[in-house]
Structure 1
Amino acid sequence: MQTHSTVTNQTKDTQRLSSIDEIVRAPEFTTLISEWGRLSVTEALRTIQQELRSEDLESKDLSLTSYRDRAIAWLRSHREYGYQRVFNLTGVLIHTNLGRAMLDPDLVQRSVLASTHPTTLEYDLKRGKRGDREAVIRERLCHLTGAESAVVVNNNAAAVWITLNTLAYHKEVIVSRGELIEIGGSFRLPELMLRSETKLVEVGTTNRTWLKDYENAITPEAALLLKVHPSNYSIQGFAHSVSESELINLARREDIPLMLDLGSGALTDLKRFGLPEEPQPKHFIDLGVDLITFSGDKLLGGPQAGIIVGQKQLCEQINSNPLKRALRMDKLSLALLNETLKAYEDPENLQKSVRLMQELNIAPRQLKHRAKHVSAILTEKLPDFEVQIEPADSQLGSGAQPTTSVPTIAVTIAHEKQSRIIDLEQTFRELNPPVIGRISKERLVLDMRGADPLDELLSTLSSLT
């Protein structure tokens, strides 16, 4: 009898559980489904129901709010977050892990028309026939850099790869040992060159390379001279490298193209923002470099793209490579790049359309204003922690000017127990939207350059318990 009674009670309790379909359709779950997807939320609810069936339901909160909270906890533990917006308070402006350059909302809105309506992606209105999908991009890049022609692909690694594969297939490419870079994600230039079916010829040493090293390496199999701008590292002290001018003269003398990988690639003078001068493609095109590659989502402040500018004949060869189609940009990325380049044609109003320029130009008083409000909330919400406002340094990030810092204001949080700081950093990452800072010198540092929009950040921090 005792066993029968227990089973009967469990059956009655189970009948109290709402159906999963009923829960999913509730308004309380609309936002959750939008963020995580219907299938993932449904699986979370099934798991929760199974757990509840094995528990005493009399003492359980079976409200929709409780279900939602448990579903959120399950999703965070068992599912990837997806592409969730965050507050980047790390002090790294172009953060590779956080999406690199941010885009201006108005610029994005203008570009979205390319995806929500039919567009002249590959249609020539003048002739009424098929057109060139990169024609307008090529025109703008030639105007901005002084190059004869241009090619765009989906990122700079692809730009380097297809250039090598096109111009030096089964041939030799000569490059200084000090420029055989590795960037984020263990991406290494020598490995990319191997995949491009070119033969790497290393010259010089890690810290010193001379013109004679290049000269001595040239054979009938040499198809390309490659120079890599040290955008993500710096060799100082007992060092020497060969200038672009020297290599241009050598390339002309030996009738071998010179390729320059600028990496970050800036189309405006960064000195106006208090930063050191960054080499611009136009400068090297004017010098006589044959081909230049650079990124679209670093110092350019645009979408992910690999940009190649230079001699028309060489660009045409690259466009004829059968694998160019596999690396081409989609219509939305092309539209975003077009709008970004268009902004550079109007230098006086560049800051209005390129978010990176806006971030670099934030006034100190505005940073202090943000810090004051953030500090006030954190002091209230974290009484056991020491909250201070301090001067700090931001970095450009993504390999751009690695030795350069940008003065900023930060809110720092300290505690006598380091474990509390580590736990707090994780708590910040679990906020909605997540707040990403950095731990430095046993403190959690929140850079105020990323504290925008301020009212939303303050609201998010107010949810701390």
Structure 2
Amino acid sequence: MATGEPIKALATLPAVYEILAHPRLAALAAKTDHALLVAEIQRRLAQHREALRADGGTPPDADAVAAEVAKIVEGWFEPRLKPVINLTGTLLHTNLGRAPLSEAAVAAMTAASGTVNLEYDLGRGKRGDRDTLIEELLCRLSGAEAATIVNNNAAAVYLTLNTLADRKRVAVSRGELVEIGDSFRIPDIVKKSGCKLMEVGTTNRTHPADYQRALEEGATVLLKVHASNYRIQGFTHEVSLVELVALGRKHNVPVVTDLGSGAFVDMRRWGLAGEPTVQESVAAGADVVTFSGDKLLGGPQAGLIAGRVEAIKRIKRNPMKRALRCDKLILAALEATLRAYLSPATIEQSLPAYRLIGRPLAEIERLMQDVLPPIERWAAGRAGVAVEPGRSQVGSGSLPDQTLETRIIALTPLRGSPETLAQALRELRPPVIGRVHGGKVLLDLRGLPDAQPLIEALAAAARP
């Protein structure tokens, strides 16, 4: 561009008032704060000025800028949190919200969205305690003497250790110093809770004598962390919770166990072994048991703390409890989820997580027959389609070495990369999330609750 031409180009950019008056923005102007809309127009014009100064070119007219602004502002009114179809093969996917909520939990949240007796005792007509909404039911199901709830399991571990061992020593096996995702590590949580970490034993072998030495050196809490997201195999030994409790009782030192996943039913029912239940840990005598609400419990994100009444009373009195407490919607969903365990025989019908875990292969194959034709139509010209046997995992750090038989629809791109094909699936409405592996996009059907949303998403993409 010749000298002086950038200035001329800048002068031809439309004015703010021209774009603001454009018909394309009329409907948006009626429902958007005027100052916010003007600021967005100014931002877009500033970007065009910068581009013209740097590279020249033809300045956009009012139609073009109005269309750009409209696209951005329309996006403001769209929720960022969107329903997706999880076909990754990880049933309780941390990045996709973990356990899907039951109909009862959703209904309870809706009912609790108005004015409720969150901290009001209806019988006495006085201030109450929100823990009482959950505590009795949680204790009945787990066998614990008392219980409380915070906003996630990391908070539960933090609050427990901060209460029982602030500025004191906590002993934990080196084989249990787990990382629980996104670089959140047990040693960091122990230290942030104000405790001094004492590592005992080795990565693969820890014995009662290792904890005994830690007690002689000043340990005031014995912490056992369930290795829920990995397994150490081979030449190994760990101290059982029963052994650890006996040692703690002998020295009058509390024992805390972090279960992580928080199963209330025996997973061997579905051919999955190795997951301790909350009831077993309470019965073993642990002073405090902590676990998540949105993993194998099948409910909302929460950290549940159950155990002996003396320890739970101290935890409830910790000033940080208020900072970590749950709101009325989480408590409502959690109560509805826990009620499902009053009838564990029907848990597959009441909780979606167990519906996915427990569905028979024959049902998955029938589902495959329903979705295969529309997938083939969508993939025509862009991918080859094949059905393959596969294995699903529970996910969210649960049962890492256990899998469930499934059926997979494998898409092999005819052109481009599998990543591009996966992106096209994510652009469907609702987005379909598969897994890229071995040059293919794999769609695991165990995680598909219902065929119809997928069929409709594929059909909508085919319409002009």
Is the structural similarity TM-score above 0.5? Answer: yes
Give the match's secondary structure for 1:288.
coil
1:290 matched to 2:291:
no
1:246 to 196, 221, 243: 243
Which of 383, 396, 409 does residue 398 from structure 1 map onto?
396
Alignment of 1:264-275 (within 5 A): 264-275=261-272
Q: Which residue of 1 aligns with 2:183?
A: 186
Look up the match of 2:327: 330
Normalising by structure 1, report the TM-score: 0.86
Return the offset for 1:26: 4.2
The one-letter code sitting in structure 1 at the alignment partner of 2:218 is: E
How far 1:135 sits from its partner (Å)? 0.6
Q: Classify 1:45/1:23 alpha carbon distance in 2 versus 1 (closer, same or farther; 3 Å).
A: farther
Structure 1 pair 222/415, CA: closer, same or farther in 2 (3 Å)? same
- Measure the CA separation in 1 of the matches of 2:274 and 2:377: 43
**Which of 358, 362, 366 lines up with 1:365 in the alignment?**
362
Matched-pair contact (CA < 8 Å) for 2:364–2:445:
yes
In structure 1, the residue matched to 2:433 is: 436
On the 8 A contact 2:44/2:69 being kept in 1, the answer is no
When residues 312 and 44 of structure 1 are mapped into structure 2, their CA distance, relative to the original with a 3 A threshold, is farther
Matches within 5 A, 1:55-74: 67=67, 71=71
User: Structure 1: which amino acid aligns with 2:327?
Assistant: D
Identity of aligned residues (%): 43
- The change in CA–CA distance for 1:443 and 1:41 in structure 2 (over 3 A counts) is farther
Counterpart of 1:420 in structure 2: which amino acid? Answer: S
The answer for the alignment partner of 2:456 in structure 1 is 459
Question: TM-score, with normalisation over the residues of structure 2?
Answer: 0.86
For 1:407, the aligned partner's letter is E
Instruction: Write the distance in 1 (CA, Å) between the matches of 2:281 and 2:108.
Output: 32
Q: What runs of 5+ residues in structure 1 fail to find an aligned partner?
A: 1-6
1:230 aligns with 2:227: yes
The one-character-per-residue Cα deviations of 1:177-196 (angstroms, maximum 9, x if unpaired) are 11111121100111111111
Q: Secondary structure at 1:402's aligned position in 2?
A: strand
RMSD of aligned residue pairs (Cα, Å): 3.5
In 2, Cα distance between equivalents of 1:374 and 1:147: 46
The answer (yes or no) to whether the contact 1:44–1:74 under 8 Å persists in 2 is: no
Letter in 1 for 2:383: F
Mind listing any 5+ residue stretches in structure 2 that lack a counterpart?
1-7, 53-57
Task: Identify which of 364, 376, 385 aligns with 2:383.
Answer: 385
By how many angstroms is 1:381 displaced?
A: 2.6
Offset of residue 220 of structure 1: 6.4
Corresponding residue for residue 171 of structure 1: 168
Separation in 2 of the partners of 1:399 and 1:121? Answer: 32
Q: Distance in 2 between matches of 1:150 and 1:187?
A: 25
Paired residue type of 1:219: E
Cα distance in structure 1, aligned partners of 2:424 and 2:37: 23
SS at match of 2:216: coil
Deviation at 1:397, TM superposition (A): 0.5
**Local SS of the residue matching 2:291:** strand
Could you give the per-residue CA deviations for residues 265-285 of structure 1, whole angstroms, max 9, x where no partner exists?
111122222322521111122
After TM superposition, give the deviation of residue 136 of structure 1 in Å. 2.6
- Residue of structure 2 in register with 1:307 after alignment: 304
Distance in 1, matches of 2:140 and 2:200, equals: 35
Distance 2:432 2:249 in 1: 53
Decide which moves more: 371-380 or 124-133: 371-380
Equivalent AA in structure 2 for residue 71 of structure 1:
K
CA offset digits 1:311-350 (Å, max 9, x no partner): 0010000001111100000111011111111111122433
Amino acid of the structure 1 residue aligned with 2:307 = G
What corresponds to 2:128 in structure 1?
Answer: 131
Q: What do the CA deviations read for 1:229-281 (whole angstroms, capped 9, x no partner)?
A: 11111000111111112111111111111111111011112222232252111
1:23 aligned residue: 24
Tell me the CA shift for residue 126 of structure 1.
1.1
Mapping for residues 31-50 of structure 1, pairs under 5 Å: 43=40, 47=44
Give the equivalent residue in structure 2 for 1:279: 276
Deviates more, 1:296-305 or 1:275-284: 275-284
- State yes or no: 1:352 paired with 2:349: yes
Aligned pairs (5 A) from 1:80-91: 82-91=80-89
Counterpart for residue 3 of structure 1: none
1:392 alignment partner AA: G
Distance 2:157 2:333 in 1: 22
Q: Which shifted more, 104-113 or 318-327? A: 104-113
Conserved? CA contact 2:133–2:331, under 8 Å: no
Query: Which of 185, 207, 214 lines up with 1:210 in the alignment?
Result: 207
Whole-Å separation in 1 of the counterparts to 2:369 and 2:357: 20
1:445 correspondence with 2:442: yes
Q: What is the SS of the residue equivalent to 1:297?
A: coil
Partner SS state of residue 202, structure 2: coil
Is 1:144 the counterpart of 2:145 in the alignment?
no
Distance 1:461 1:274, change over 3 A: same
Relative to structure 2, which stretch is displaced further, 404-413 or 274-283?
Answer: 274-283
Identify the range of structure 1 (104-113 vs 294-303) with the bigger mean alpha-carbon deviation.
104-113
Distance in 2 separating the partners of 1:81 and 1:427: 20
- What CA distance in whole angstroms lies between the structure 2 residues aligned with 1:69 and 1:385? 36
1:280 partner amino acid: T
Change (3 A) 1:73 1:129: closer
Instruction: Give the counterpart letter for 2:412 in structure 1.
Output: A
CA distance 1:21–1:288, change in 2 (3 Å) = farther
Establish whether residue 425 from structure 1 lines up as the match of residue 422 from structure 2.
yes
1:140 to 1:106, Cα distance in 2 relative to 1, 3 A: closer
